[in-house]
Structure 1
Amino acid sequence: MTTPRVAPAPITRGDLSPAARRLLEQRLRGRTAGPERAVIPRRSPRTGEAPLSAAQQRLYFLEQLDPGGTEYLMPAAWRFTGPLDIAALDGAVRDLVTRHEQLRVVFPDHDGAPAQRVLPPDGAGLELVDPIAEGPSGDPGKAVARAVREAALRPFDLAAEPAFRATLIRAGHEEHVLVLAMHHIVSDGWSLDVLVRDLAEFHRARAGGGTPVLPPLPIDYTDYAVWQREADHGASLEYWRSTLAGVTPLELPTDHPRPETRSHVGAVHTVELSPELSEAVARIGRRAGTTPYTTLMAAFRTALALHSGQSDIAIGTIVANRERPEIERLVGFFVNTLVIRTDLPGDPTPDEVLRHTRDRVLGALSHQDLPFERVVDEVSPERDLSRNPLVQVLFSHTTVRDGDGFSLGAAVGTPEPIDLTTAKFDLSLEVRDEGGRQKLVFVHRPDLFTTATVARIADHTVAALRLFDDRPDTPLSAGDLLTPGERELLLGPGSPARPEARAAGPVPSVPERLTRWSRRDPDAVAVRAGGVELTRAALDTASRALADRLRAAGVRPGEPVGVCLDRSADLVVALLGVWRAGAAQL
């Protein structure tokens, strides 16, 4: 994971918040804003403990299943070069914690019922680390990298300490790395932008002896959490009940058996669209009336349908959930997960897929106020610790800013990468729009899928884009989503379509092929299972020995032999031994 490129720039006309954008659109159309929604009230008195929001509650219980894990950490780091006023930065961090309550919240547990308690604004400020001076002599770059990783990934005890930590690491003369470590339960991507903007302003005021220019916050996150529990979501609740009735899990074929509990380890496969394909995305949007977000989601959905064989597919997507102006400048966990269900039986055309996806996206966005946790409770899917509820695949679209400068006085900071890749879903596609260049970043669980499988899904997503552009009115079954390699495998010499082109002579058996491979490279690993490795030579020898024992025991060619073993190296030996003996396994 790389630190997001956020900078303390003011909101411009091209970067309006959701609430401001909605009001501007209404006025441009000559419409009034209509009856104002009641504002979220402040709690009074502001003492004692407050409930968790719906999103916080779900994240809290997930944390209890894997305490101290890294799945829901969201660190960010910047490397600053130039003279840095450390005292001003320490004061700015303290000001930041004072302004935003979620940076000083703890989550006590009362007999399984969590709450959140806001601590007084007198906690610790900036932690200072000097790995070059403190550590043994050696490579200072590696020492700094270890210190950054330790600061970023050190877990939080949610019941005992705030889930926010600021660490400044000395990396050399007038060179420092600032690490802001947070747990997702108190922050999100939008919040990080707010934090950077406010931190820069507090630092400016501290360093110059002035007053920070920041508007007062109308409410705090605990006010939002209380309001959310009491809000009327009746219309949205009915929409989601109807839309998700009868939804079934997406069953992508996996390369490995699904473990009983979900792994958080992630792997990444990235594809950058060519300039021609990026232009095709824009061209499709102009023709079909879709945004790049919807166009790329529809292409992804088409690839998922190809691999799963399903026509009814549910994809998760993330929204900032900042539709109300009073929460725009708050730090907190506001993001919501929406389910985009696309049910397209038969043989739709690309334009039909695009229209259907656009309508479902708009419907979901219009009912985004209902927390995902409430949707799960209402739809009541079968709960399974090995997978997420309702959706196993996520799609998101991010615009990466060109300007990545973040200055604290004379010190100029640039994003510092942090090696943290976690998979919150079986498969995720994040589209990163970087100044007109679009990257498709696929994050997957390697305990389910190989990189080759995910690469094929990526190739089919790209092929779907080409099909959407070239043949918008042709049914998908008549289009071509195959890669050149797949086409050669199916239609080339020796393929099922051209059996006459196969090489003459008998087809070697599996044991015979193993013997050939063993002679070519006897030390190559042939089997890995359960921590056991067998080379080609070892596998060949073991299977031959078992075949000899079976023959000595009276097993004759064509007779069945029972095999009862779990997936293991022994299972491979047993099957090869049975085949070598000329028998068949049961």
Structure 2
Amino acid sequence: MTAPQASPLLITPAPPEARHVVSFTQDERLDTGRHVQLVNNKIPVGLLFEGSLDVPLLERCLEMLGRRHESLRLCFPIDPAGNVLKVLPNLGEPLRVESVEDTEPGRRLEHALALLAEDAGRPFDLAAGSLFRRMVVRVDETTHVLCMTMDHVNIDALSVRTLIGELLTLYTALAKAEEPELPELPVQFPDFAVWERNYLRGATLARLMGYWRRRLDGIDPIPASGLVDPVGGVDGPPKLIKLSTFVDARRASAMDAFAQSAGTSLISVVGAAVKATVWRRKLATMDDEAAGDVALFGSLGNRTRPEVEHLVGYLATVATFRTTFDRTTSFEELVGRVGRTLWDALRHQRIPHSLIMKELGHPQYGARYRDPAAMPSYLNFDVLDYAVDTFSQPPGLSVRRVVLPMPEVPRGGLRVLGFRRRNGISLEFRYRSDRYSATWARQFLDDLDRVLVLGVDRPATRLDELFDLPAGRR
């Protein structure tokens, strides 16, 4: 009797001779930006430890993470035959330890963050590695700051949460002289890369590409937002400016209840409000039909198999979320359309954006890894529908994430982020200072918040009524 064939969806350990291939997303970076050193291509993760931190134990835990996850030991040697990856035997550089205790007490944390940002900004050598750098700064006896800096070619946002959670789990267990309990890893990232190459070909590739060809018909894979500030930004090097507003627990509960009644999720509700706000702005420079074709750029986790649930690596992919509507569309209808757009994208997320562009032969291939000034003005939108600021705390320590003062510039010019918090939802609007003014950005965020209030309270309201627009006129 012939044994049944394994499902092509099943990700299994690859044979040793095959574990040198890179993923399609890594291919794009290596093809077009191997030697480009942008802040956007790094992921620095800052953690503030308050309490009695055992630094040697912390270093031991970091080394254990390195042994557990091959993606933290990947590099990409130059090979005439094409892009390849290599798993290094260890993490290379040891944990770097510095102190700022000789600094004036009121400025120590600021100095520590600046030192970490400087270290995080050091170039990576993708060919030789290591691409996982660790540094801890002692602020005083009970305050330390750790930064783990990784190149984005090896890691995504969901992996960061996994790393932080496992680091604190390891530290807690070893501090108690207990055996750490971490989930098993059926596969490593090189196994995923081999599976991806085998899966995305033939009929499967044609089917997935067929969907995205239809969705991208008439627009670029990295879609222009169509948003223009007539005043413009300020002269000088572009800076990242952040504005925020907070949705309290009462409103957040109403948004969740509305999403549930509409058979969708929070991200669809916020996404509909973002698209309505974009539509209103586009009406100032284009006709109704063009204004009602709204495409945002966002991220998909691409973790569709249980084998990769706890895997650290760069599995996520960006995607284009395109929805069409007009002034007579109600907010409730728009939420439904945005939800279907998201659902369809999730069903077709196994093909990464990099491969879509390569199959299309599009000139935007690799654009995100080159000069940010040459990027089109697109709007990136993501809602992180979980409490990003909560982690289990080791005994005797309080640990929280901190942001390093890195000179990040949003590639597309605009970004809307939603963060689920314990007591509500934080909405953040980021914009490029050289393309948009503070007044324009504040009005955009205020309009977004207003649409969420009115749309959730009166979901049957037409979009032109939400913005008090005369029927049939801009």
- Fold similarity call, TM over 0.5: yes
Q: Provide closer, same or farther for how the CA distance between residues 181 and 242 of structure 1 changes in structure 2, counting only shifts above 3 A.
A: same
Could you say which structure has the larger radius of gyration?
Answer: 1
Q: Partner letter of residue 118 of structure 1?
A: V
User: How big is the shift at 1:346?
Assistant: 6.2
Q: Which residue of 1 aligns with 2:387?
A: 401
Following the alignment from structure 1 to structure 2, what is the Cα–Cα distance between the partners of residues 236 and 372? 11
Over the aligned positions, Cα root-mean-square deviation in angstroms equals: 3.2
User: How big is the shift at 1:471?
Assistant: 4.7
User: Of 410, 432, 435, which aligns to 1:423?
Assistant: 410
User: How big is the shift at 1:111?
Assistant: 5.0
Contact 1:280 1:469 in 2 (8 A): yes
Following the alignment from structure 2 to structure 1, what is the Cα–Cα distance between the partners of residues 109 and 186? 44
Q: Partner letter of residue 61 of structure 2?
A: A
Q: Which residue of 2 aligns with 1:250?
A: 225
Q: Which residue of 1 aligns with 2:46?
A: 77
Q: Which residue of 1 aligns with 2:451?
A: 464
Q: Which residue of 2 aligns with 1:299?
A: 273
User: How big is the shift at 1:139?
Assistant: 5.2
Following the alignment from structure 2 to structure 1, what is the Cα–Cα distance between the partners of residues 74 and 434? 35
Q: Which residue of 2 aligns with 1:44?
A: 15
Q: Partner letter of residue 202 of structure 1?
A: L
Q: Partner letter of residue 338 of structure 1?
A: A
Scaled by the length of structure 2, the TM-score of the pair is: 0.83
After the TM superposition, which residues 117-516 of structure 1 pair with which residues of structure 2 at under 5 Å, given as runs?
Answer: 117-121=86-90, 123-132=92-101, 140-204=108-172, 206-231=174-199, 232-247=204-219, 249-255=224-230, 265-273=239-247, 277-309=251-283, 310-345=291-326, 347-381=328-362, 383=364, 386=373, 388=375, 392-401=378-387, 404=390, 407-408=393-394, 410-420=396-406, 421-469=408-456, 471-481=458-468
Contact 1:91 1:125 in 2 (8 A): no
Contact 1:256 1:447 in 2 (8 A): no
Contact 2:25 2:355 in 1 (8 A): no
Contact 1:71 1:264 in 2 (8 A): no
User: How big is the shift at 1:190?
Assistant: 1.4
Structure showing greater relative contact order (alpha-carbon pairs closer than 8 Å, 6 or more residues apart): 2
Following the alignment from structure 2 to structure 1, what is the Cα–Cα distance between the partners of residues 174 and 250? 49
Structure 1: runs of 5+ lacking an equivalent: 1-34, 488-586
User: How big is the shift at 1:275?
Assistant: 5.5
Q: Partner letter of residue 356 of structure 1?
A: R
Following the alignment from structure 2 to structure 1, what is the Cα–Cα distance between the partners of residues 106 and 267? 48
Following the alignment from structure 1 to structure 2, what is the Cα–Cα distance between the partners of residues 217 and 282? 34
Contact 1:51 1:226 in 2 (8 A): yes
Q: Percent identity?
A: 24
Asked if 1:88 is matched to 2:57, the reply is: yes
User: How big is the shift at 1:221?
Assistant: 0.5
Q: Please give the secondary structure, in 2, of the residue aligned with 1:233.
A: helix
Structure 2: runs of 5+ lacking an equivalent: 1-5, 284-290
Q: Please give the secondary structure, in 2, of the residue aligned with 1:247.
A: coil
User: How big is the shift at 1:182?
Assistant: 1.3
User: How big is the shift at 1:397?
Assistant: 0.8
Scaled by the length of structure 1, the TM-score of the pair is: 0.68
